[in-house]
Chain A
Amino acid sequence: MRWLAITLALACNTPEPQVQEAPPAETQLVLSDGARAIFERSLIRDPEPSCAELTEGIADPVSALLEVAERVQAPPRSGMRAATCLVREHASAIEPTMTRWVSERRTMGYGLLALDHLDRFPPELADRLSRAALAGDFPDAARRRIERRTIEHEEPGTLAP
């Protein structure tokens, strides 16, 4: 019957209604319970949930936040929100992850997010991340953020590798 409907629709020159259908279940993103809870809470825009509200009641918030940051594609703010909580509240615990974020092109958004928070990190951590970023895949973009965030604390350029 579907071919008949299509034929009729074409014959009548009527555009098909633009109904947005949910994709089949197998394409749904599967997350752990903790990550699923964070993802759903992260969708609210106003009032925006705090990091504490995002992770309330979750046994391993760092793992759950990392799962959201690394696996959720849409909306982009969900991953950014999770990454923000990691960068602001668990920076030392996720240093290897942040080092990868500031180094690899495919995580440039998270890398720039981390670099925009340099002035909140312990100086040694900020220095290590800055060096990794300047040696990474997007050094020009990194340099602008590093200079912007460190200009009040150090002479620009002292972080160059």
Chain B
Amino acid sequence: MRCLIALLLLAACKSEDPGEDAGTGDDAGVLGEAIRTNETSGNTGTAGELAVTVSVEEGDRSFMVVGTSEEAHLAVLAIDDPSGATILRWQDWYNERRYVTNAFWATRQATVINWPIRDIDPALVPGDYVVHLGSYRADGTTSRPDIDVDVTSLISSDQDVERGAIRVLVLWADGLGEDAALVSATEAAIAHWADVWEGADMALEVRYEQSSIDPLLPYPGGMGGPVLLEASAFAEPGEVVVIIGELVNDDPSQYGVSGQLPGPLVPSTLSAIVVGWLANAGGDGVFSDNDIQLYGEVLAHEVGHYAGLFHPVESAYDAWDALDDTPECGGQRACEDMLGTNLMFPYSIGCATGMCLSTTGITNDQRAVMQRYTGTR
């Protein structure tokens, strides 16, 4: 019912006024080896909408649009292809129980969309794509017109969708990079993460940096935004930032949380994954081999979210990802049997023996999403 009300409110607040077009790029550049960037800004006008043009060239694989605002919540409303056809629209997904992106929900003062998302989405063709952004009040549904929005478009020209690599910056919160046991455990966990992701033909390129960020990390979004913005400033172009702290959101049972799904590749209040080492080590504060395995799978899982993967089924067994090869199971028993060892399953299973089942499964459709993430090269 809440979703229906939200849908009606959003529909009521939407206008046919096309709003403004974002200005042409005033700061174009190259991010990494195969990512072109374009920074621009615009105003959502009386309609509360902003049309962002993404100029795709022959050989481009995928693009990402990141919108940020200091005043309003943002969402993606639609994507039009160069022929003018609308190929993604919020109305098709907003009330669905199958999730393809978080970009339709105006929950933050930033929004991010990656396109294409799945292997069944049409490949890019040369020409101008238009990404429609909307600005909203904090309720996420009431349009808020006349909002200035900063927009960064990133386009990957890496054509290989069979193998890829993601660049990761592991950022130690204050003092934790000097804890030899934690550093050693994290390195071992990342080695396991690399093994897991190899199942999706995804490689990792990891570097480490120290920071003075408080180890008591915030939950991403809201009050946590400034910390993620600070952390993401450490990143080199195209890197995904993973902050290793002690606790997340003052909660010792939070393993880790992704800033957004998908995650932005430019500094923003959403641009990091936060991880609490204590939850991963457990009551003895020491990483056993089993803990390291779980820690590595937590990292692989959370950065999987950042690369665009949803849980194949949510833990209430009433919502699923929009991928064809992760079955829409029903009920705990069936879902655990079918999906319990998938990397993106929402919780650990089989733990009563003192060691949970390993969650290393990655389906072909999940692999395709990761390979199409703009940060994958």
Within residues 311 to 357 of chain B, which ones have a CB less than 8 A from any CB in chain A? 311, 314-315, 341, 346-357
Min CB distance, B231 to chain A, in Å?
A: 19
CB pair A84 B251 closer than 8 Å = yes
Contact B285 A74 (CB under 8 A): no
Q: Which of A23, A80, A138 contacts B278 (CB 8 A)?
A: A80
Given A75-B348, A80-B253, does the pair A109, B281 have CB atoms closer than 8 Å? yes
User: Which of A76, A106, A148 has the largest number of chain B CB atoms within 10 A?
Assistant: A76
Q: Is the CB of A20 within 8 A of B294?
A: no
Q: Which residues of B contact A108 (CB under 8 A)?
A: 284-286
Question: In this complex, which of B311, B354, B357 has the most chain A Cβ atoms within 10 angstroms of its Cβ?
Answer: B354
A29 to B352 alpha-carbon distance, docked (Å): 5
Chain B binding site: helix, strand, loop or mixed by DSSP?
loop
Q: Which residues of chain B are near A81, meaning CB under 8 Å?
A: 252-253
Contact B350 A22 (CB under 8 A): yes
Report how far A49 CA is from B37 CA in the complex, Å: 42
25 contacts between A and B (CB under 8 A): A20-B350, A27-B354, A28-B353, A44-B347, A46-B314, A46-B315, A48-B254, A72-B351, A73-B355, A75-B348, A75-B351, A76-B282, A77-B253, A79-B282, A79-B283, A80-B252, A80-B278, A80-B283, A108-B286, A109-B285, A112-B246, A112-B278, A112-B285, A116-B252, A148-B216
Q: Which residues of A contact B (CB under 8 A)?
A: 20, 22-23, 27-29, 39, 42-48, 69-70, 72-81, 83-84, 106-113, 116, 138, 144, 148
Q: How far is the CB of B259 from chain A (nearest CB, A)?
A: 15
- In the complex, what residue of chain A is closest to B250 when comparing beta carbons? A116
* Residue B279 at the chain A interface, CB threshold 8 Å: yes
Inter-subunit contact A74/B290 (CB<8 Å): yes
Extra A-B contacts (12), CB below 8 Å, given A107-B283, A113-B278: A20-B357, A44-B346, A74-B353, A80-B253, A80-B282, A84-B251, A109-B282, A109-B283, A109-B285, A110-B283, A113-B252, A116-B246
Q: How far is the CA of A45 from the CA of B348 in the complex (A)?
A: 9
Q: B291's closest neighbor in chain A, by CB?
A: A76
Q: Is the CB of B197 closer than 8 A to any CB of chain A?
A: no
Q: Which A residues are in CB contact (< 8 Å) with B216?
A: 116, 148
Residue of B nearest to A85 (CB): B253
B59 at the interface (CB under 8 A from A): no
Across the interface, B347 reaches (CB within 8 A) one of A43, A74, A138, namely A43
Q: Mark B350-373, 1 if CB is under 8 A from A, else 0.
A: 111111111000000000000000
Residues of A within 8 A of B250 (CB): 116
Give the secondary structure class of A's interface. helix
Q: How far is the CB of A101 from chain B (nearest CB, A)?
A: 8
* Complex Cα spacing A133 to B80, Å: 61
- CB pair A48–B314 under 8 Å, yes or no, is no
Is there an interface contact between A76 and B353, defined as CB atoms closer than 8 Å?
no
Residues on A with C-beta less than 8 A from B283 are 69-70, 76, 79-80, 83, 107, 109-110
B56-88 interface with A by 8 A CB criterion? none
Residues on A with beta carbons closer than 8 Å to the beta carbon of B346: 44-46
- B240 contacts the other chain (CB 8 A): no
Complex CA gap A112/B311 in Å reads: 31
The residue in B254, B290, B347 that gathers the most chain A C-beta atoms within 10 A of its C-beta is B347
Contact check, A144 vs B175: say whether CB atoms are below 8 A apart. Answer: yes
For B349, list chain A residues within 8 Å (CB): 43
Contact A77:B285 (CB < 8 A) given known A42-B253, A116-B252: no
B255 CB within 8 Å of chain A:
yes
Contact of A73 among B255, B278, B282, B314 (CB under 8 A): B282
